[in-house]
A and B are shown apart, each in its own frame.
Chain A
C-alpha cells in the first residue's frame, strides 16, 4: 500500500499531543453519501416495518440506497485517500494494535477509518447490498420487487425471508456503529460526527510531504 493512503502509514496507536494537524479528511462526495444514506436507510427501514401496505415509497428508498452503494463502490477506488477501500483494509496486526489502545481515555486522532471502523464500513455496505438485492426479489402478495416475475416463487419466498432477517442484522450493525461513535465521544473525548459534517478533523501529521 502506498503511503498516500491515509491510515496505512500509522502505527495503529493513539498519539500524544505531538505532531497533530487539522486537515480536510472526508471529501464532499463521501460526506454527502454518508448523510443521504443514513437518512434514506432509516426512512426505508421505517417504511418497510411500519409504513403503509402499499410499499411504493419503500421501493424508492431501496432504489436510492442501491444507487448510492454503486457510487460509493466507485468512490472507494477513485475518491480522496481516506475514502478509498485500500486505506482502511488492515491486517491482523493493526487490529491487535488498535484493540490495545481502544480504552485509552484520549482521542485517537486517526487519519481516516481505524481498523474496526473500516470493518464496520465494509460490513454495512455488504449488508445493505444484500438488503437491496433481496428486496428486488421479495414478495408479500401486495408488493413485488421488480425481479419477482423472473424467479421461482419458492426462491422469492426464501429471499423475502432473508430480506426480513437481514434487516434485523442491519439494525444491529448500524446500532453498533452509533454506539462506538458515542463511545469515542464520551469515553475518548473525540468527536467523530463533526468531521463527517465539516470534512475537517484533527489528526496526526501525515508522513507524506
Chain B
C-alpha cells in the first residue's frame, strides 16, 4: 500500500467512527424522548417549587403576588398529563445511566398514579390558597411539599 492509500483509509476510518458515534449518541427513540420529556417536566416542577421552599425555610418574604405566581405556574404544570411519558421500557433497569425512574412504577402503576394525583391536587389547592392570604397559603405549601417524597421515596432512585 502506498503512503497515500494508508492515509486515505485512516481518514475514512476516522470519519466512519465519528459519524457512527454521533448517530449513536444522538439516536432518538420513543423511550429516550419520553425520559427527556418527563425529566424536563420535573425540572420545571423543581424550578417553580423553589420559591415555596424559600418561604417555608423563612428565607423569602411572603407576598400575595408571589403566592399567586407560584400557584399559577404549579397549577398549569399539574394540569399537564405527564403520565404519558412513563411508557413501558423506560425504567432504570432498562435505561441505566439515563433515568432514575424505578421499575416499581410499572409494577405498581396504581400506587404511582395515586402519588401523581396527590401531587396534582396539592398543587391545584395552592391556587385557592393563594387567594386566602399568608396562613392559608403556607398551610397548603406544607401539604404540597410532602407529596414530592410520596413519589420520590418509593419510585425514584437516588442516582442515575
Interface residues of A (CB under 8 A from B): 53-54, 56, 140-143, 154, 157-158, 160-161, 163-164
Is B158 touching A53 in the complex (CB atoms < 8 A)? no
Tell whether, in the assembled complex, residue B158 and residue A141 are in contact, meaning their CB atoms are under 8 Å apart.
no
Contact with A along B19-36 (1 / 0, CB 8 A): 000000000000000000
Q: Which residues of A contact B149 (CB under 8 A)?
A: 53, 140
Separation of A154 and B99 alpha carbons in the complex (Å): 11
Cross-chain contact of A53 among B100, B146, B159 (Cβ < 8 A): B146
Asked if residues B57 and A54 are in contact (CB atoms below 8 Å), the reply is yes
Binding site secondary structure of chain A: helix
- Residue from the list B46, B49, B145, B159 in contact with A160, Cβ < 8 A: B159
Give the dominant DSSP class at B's interface: helix
- Among A54, A140, A141, the most chain B Cβ lie within 10 Å of the Cβ of A141
Q: Report the bound CA distance from A158 to B160 in whole Å.
A: 8
Q: Is the CB of B53 within 8 A of A54?
A: yes
Q: Is the CB of B159 within 8 A of A154?
A: yes
Q: Which 4 pairs across A and B sit closest by C-beta, in order of nearness?
A: A157-B159, A161-B158, A161-B159, A160-B158
Known: A54-B53, A54-B56, A140-B152. A157 touches B158 (CB 8 A): yes
Instruction: For chain B, give the interface size range.
Output: 10 to 19
Among A142, A143, A163, the most chain B Cβ lie within 10 Å of the Cβ of A142
Asked if B152 contacts A141 (CB within 8 A), the reply is yes
* Inter-subunit contact B158/A54 (CB<8 Å): no
Known: A141-B152, A142-B49, A160-B158. 15 other contacts (CB 8 A): A53-B149, A54-B57, A56-B57, A140-B152, A141-B46, A141-B148, A154-B159, A154-B160, A157-B100, A157-B158, A157-B160, A160-B159, A161-B157, A161-B158, A163-B158
B16 to chain A, nearest CB (A): 30
Roughly how many angstroms separate A140 CA and B159 CA in the complex, as a whole number? 10
Nearest residue, chain A, Cβ from B100? A157
Distance, CA A154 to CA B157, complexed state (A) = 12
Considering the chains assembled together, what is the distance between the CA atoms of A141 and B158 in angstroms?
Answer: 11
| Chain B 95-124 interface mask (CB, 8 Å, partner A; 1/0) | 000001000000000000000000000000
B57 and A53 within 8 A (CB): no
Docked complex Cα distance between A174 and B149 (Å) = 27
B57 to chain A: which residues have CB within 8 Å? Answer: 54, 56
List chain A residues, Cβ under 8 A from B157: 161
Scan B120-160; emit 1 where CB is below 8 A from any A CB, else 0: 00000000000000000000000001101100100001111
Distance of A206 from chain B, by nearest CB (Å): 49
Closest A residue to B147 by beta carbon equals A53
Residue in chain A with minimal CB distance to B142: A52
Bound CA–CA A54/B146 (angstroms)? 9
Measured between C-beta atoms, what is the minimum distance from A133 to chain B in Å? 16
Inter-chain CA distance A142–B151, complex, in Å, is: 13
Digit string of B46-68 for contact with A (CB within 8 Å is 1, else 0)?
A: 10010001001100000000000
**CB of B116 to closest CB in A, whole Å:** 16
Complex-state Cα separation, A22 to B156, whole angstroms: 55
